[in-house]
């Protein structure tokens, strides 16, 4: 049982402080307090519904990727003519932290990494401005473009196109992916990009006959220019005739192989030399740098769905699945869509497991309160304020854009045990005060007793919770990946504790007055039994102070050696239930050999 309040022992009036006056005002205006609490619960529930769900926090940097296609060029040429000029110019962008480049056959990647607090879309706009200035400095044929507005953890879903009948070849499957599924999925809310992998991209190939080139005295460059200029539309302004005007245009788009064969390379003495005269036009697969296989049953075509930055991963995956189910009905007979990667089970499993543990923790707290206070209604004070504090934390989380993941929810789990301390202490002290005035006392006397009990311990509880709240402030001094990993935990714990401190001096006194009715026991056999076990141990420790201190020092020292041998890692492994197989081969091995 609680002893005399500290304020009374110090000879000070416990009702003088601002916190004590707030407690009195809350107890005198229960309707206003309960209305505000209901509003907080509603806002928290709506925020909980809108809060993005994911398994882990996004640990990636704020970066913009520039991908440049330079077909047919070696990695060294790509590095000298594309990667280096782009990287050098991107270093001058404001608030740029690092620029990295990578060159490979026909492709260049430049990663522009900004400072952590830079908005992604602000960074993308700066990169686009820089690319517009550099367009004249890049060689002809180099086509730079920025990557999707996604992060490193945006890969949320992957599927494969499977033909069970064997009537649809890889080229047809790739066409279905590129011209049907890809564009439809790109329109799904929250999708940043749909990438196609595997199969064959169909193209018209010009197979030049070198003997005919010599016979007609034609260069390969001339043929290339003729092919490039063949598929185009030309405008001829407007022709007025009579009282009407006609828009003049020349239609020259290539629609099939026969159109290409009729392309004129040059004319000699009025006789045209066409592409069919010096080459053979065939339809074949484009050069590919990788393959996709499914379950060892052969090659297939796959699509990768990348989520836009800041979106709710679980909701985006659900929308993608619904769209794929709708599109599958329009595929040729025998072609079906098979899911090969889906992050939603991981998200649902991680979040639901943690939510279940939060509920179990709340129930355990309620049982402890009932067990030690022997008053069922007292437990409802904690059961009401605990979820309210958590919902209040979700209000700020939603406004701040913090996702609900294992780290942010873990912060709430850590805070729960401390959040109920205020309710337990206040309920126990109010029990004592109400028991002292007796069950026959009137409503006014009970209210004064509750206010007095809350004012005695309320200020101390409030400031103790605030002290615990600021204990996680050093986490905000971290930088880089460490900050991005632990900041959600610190944010949610701080918000939950702050709301718990506020509710302890506003809602808790009101709930105590409304719920603590009937016979209140002054003597609690459970608490008295625990006190009888603890009192001899305390007296023994105080009697032999130096021995107690020495035992504590030995225990601390004995932990040094095991602690030094413990392994360390940045974060524990996250078992997704997925197997990532990454074989290593000799450099230069072809995809056919693989």
Report CA dihedral (477, 478, 483, 488) to the nearest 10 degrees: -40
Q: Please state the φ and ψ torsions of residue 167, each to the nearest 5 degrees.
A: -85, -15
Query: What letter would DSSP give residue 402?
Result: -
First and final C-alpha spacing in the chain = 75
Nearest residue to 267 via CA among 221, 216, 212, 215: 216
Other beta carbons within 10 Å of 475:
19
Give the length of the chain.
594
Other beta carbons within 10 Å of 206:
18
Other beta carbons within 10 Å of 583:
5
Nearest residue to 494 via CA among 400, 413, 412, 391: 412
The helices-and-strands tally (H runs, E runs) of the chain is 23, 14
Note the pTM of the prediction, 2 decimals: 0.74
The full set of domains in the chain, from first to last, is: 6-55+347-523 (1.20.1640.10), 61-150 (3.30.70.1430), 203-285 (3.30.2090.10)
3-state secondary structure at position 253: coil
CA distance 264 to 260: 9
What are the structure tokens assigned to 357, written together? 């543990």
**Which helix (H) or strand (E) element contains residue 339?**
strand 335-342
Report CA dihedral (80, 84, 89, 94) to the nearest 10 degrees: 170
CA distance 358 to 371: 20
CA distance 119 to 94: 12
Q: Please state the φ and ψ torsions of residue 113, each to the nearest 5 degrees.
A: -105, 125
User: Between the CA of residue 479 and those of 61, 63, 407, 578, what are the distances in Å?
Assistant: 11, 16, 17, 31
316 close to 188: Cβ distance less than 8 angstroms: yes
CA distance 140 to 70: 9
CA distance 8 to 334: 83
342 DSSP β-pair partners: 157
pLDDT value of residue 5: 46
Q: Quote helix, strand, coil % in the chain, to nearest 5.
A: 55, 20, 30
The DSSP annotation for 407-471 comes to HHHHHHHHHHHHHTHHHHHHHHHHHHHHHHH-TTS-HHHHHHHHHHHHHHHHHHHHHHHHHHHGG
351 close to 404: Cβ distance less than 8 angstroms: yes
CA distance 555 to 440: 53
What are the structure tokens assigned to 564, written together? 């030094």
Nearest residue to 431 via CA among 372, 366, 383, 506: 372
Between strands 155-163 and 301-307, the pairing is antiparallel
337 close to 300: Cβ distance less than 8 angstroms: no
CA distance 194 to 155: 10
Q: What string of pLDDT tens digits covers the 594 residues of the chain?
A: 444 444 444 445 555 678 778 888 888 888 898 999 899 999 989 888 888 877 777 778 888 899 988 888 888 998 988 899 888 888 888 888 889 988 888 889 999 998 888 888 898 999 998 888 887 788 888 888 888 888 877 888 999 988 878 788 888 888 888 888 888 998 888 898 898 888 888 888 888 888 888 888 888 888 888 888 777 777 777 888 777 888 887 777 777 888 888 888 888 777 888 888 888 888 888 888 778 888 777 888 889 999 988 788 888 999 999 999 898 888 888 888 888 888 888 888 777 777 787 778 777 777 777 777 777 777 788 778 888 888 888 888 888 878 888 888 888 878 877 777 777 787 777 777 777 776 656 667 777 777 777 777 777 878 887 888 777 788 888 877 778 888 888 888 888 888 888 888 888 888 887 877 655 665 677 777 888 888 888 888 888 889 999 999 999 998 888 888 877 776 666 666 667 677 777 777 776 666
309 close to 192: Cβ distance less than 8 angstroms: yes
What are the structure tokens assigned to 586, written together? 């000799």
């Amino acid at each position: 049982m609680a002893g005399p309040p500290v304020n009374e022992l110090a000879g000070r009036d416990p009702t003088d402080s601002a916190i004590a006056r707030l407690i009195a005002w809350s107890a005198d205006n229960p309707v206003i307090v309960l209305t505000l609490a209901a509003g907080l619960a509603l806002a928290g529930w709506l925020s909980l519904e809108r809060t993005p769900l994911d398994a882990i926090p996004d640990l990636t940097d704020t970066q913009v990727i520039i991908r440049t296609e330079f077909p047919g060029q070696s990695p060294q040429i790509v590095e000298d003519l594309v990667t280096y000029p782009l990287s050098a110019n991107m270093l001058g962008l404001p608030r740029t932290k690092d620029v990295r480049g990578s060159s490979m056959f026909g492709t260049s990647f430049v990663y522009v990494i900004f400072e952590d607090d830079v908005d992604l879309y602000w960074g993308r706009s700066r990169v686009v401005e820089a690319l517009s200035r550099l367009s004249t400095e890049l060689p002809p044929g180099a086509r730079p473009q920025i990557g999707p507005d996604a992060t490193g953890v945006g890969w949320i879903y992957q599927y494969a196109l499977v033909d069970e009948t064997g009537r649809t070849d890889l080229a047809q499957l790739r066409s279905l992916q590129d011209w049907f599924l890809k564009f439809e999925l790109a329109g799904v809310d929250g999708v940043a990009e749909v990438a196609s992998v595997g199969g064959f991209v169909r193209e018209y190939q010009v197979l030049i006959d070198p003997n005919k080139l010599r016979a007609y005295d034609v260069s390969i460059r001339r043929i290339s220019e003729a092919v490039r200029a063949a598929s185009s539309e030309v405008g001829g302004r407007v022709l007025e005739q009579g009282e009407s005007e006609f828009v003049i245009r020349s239609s020259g788009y290539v629609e099939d192989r026969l159109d290409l064969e009729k392309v004129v390379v040059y004319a000699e003495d009025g006789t045209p030399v066409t592409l069919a005269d010096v080459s053979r036009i065939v339809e074949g697969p484009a050069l590919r740098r990788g393959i996709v296989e499914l379950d060892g049953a052969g090659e297939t075509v796959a699509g990768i769905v990348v989520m836009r930055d800041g979106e709710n991963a679980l909701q985006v995956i659900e929308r993608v699945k619904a769209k794929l189910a709708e599109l599958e009905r329009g595929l040729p007979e025998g072609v079906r869509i098979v899911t090969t990667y889906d992050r939603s089970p991981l998200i649902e499993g991680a979040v639901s497991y943690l939510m279940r543990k939060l509920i179990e923790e709340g129930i355990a707290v309620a049982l402890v309160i009932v067990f030690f206070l022997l008053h069922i209604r007292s437990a409802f004070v904690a059961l009401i304020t605990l979820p309210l504090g958590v919902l209040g934390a979700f209000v700020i989380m939603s406004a701040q854009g913090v996702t609900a993941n294992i780290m942010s929810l873990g912060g709430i789990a850590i805070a729960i045990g401390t959040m109920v301390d205020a309710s337990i202490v206040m309920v126990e002290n109010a029990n004592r005060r109400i028991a002292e005035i007796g069950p026959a006392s009137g409503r006014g006397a009970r209210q004064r007793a509750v206010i007095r009990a809350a004012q005695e311990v309320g200020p101390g509880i409030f400031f103790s919770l605030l002290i615990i709240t600021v204990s996680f402030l050093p986490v905000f001094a971290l930088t880089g990946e460490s900050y991005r990993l632990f900041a959600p935990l610190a944010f949610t714990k701080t918000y939950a504790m702050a709301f718990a401190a506020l509710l302890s001096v506003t809602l808790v006194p009101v709930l105590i007055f409304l719920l603590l009715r009937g016979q209140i026991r002054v003597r609690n056999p459970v608490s008295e039994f625990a006190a009888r076990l603890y009192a001899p141990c305390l007296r023994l420790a105080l009697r032999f102070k130096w021995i107690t201190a020495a035992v504590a020092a030995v225990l601390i020292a004995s932990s040094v050696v095991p602690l030094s041998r413990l392994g360390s890692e940045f974060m524990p492994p996250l078992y997704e239930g997925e197997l990532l197989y990454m074989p290593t081969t000799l450099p230069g091995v072809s995809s056919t050999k693989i």
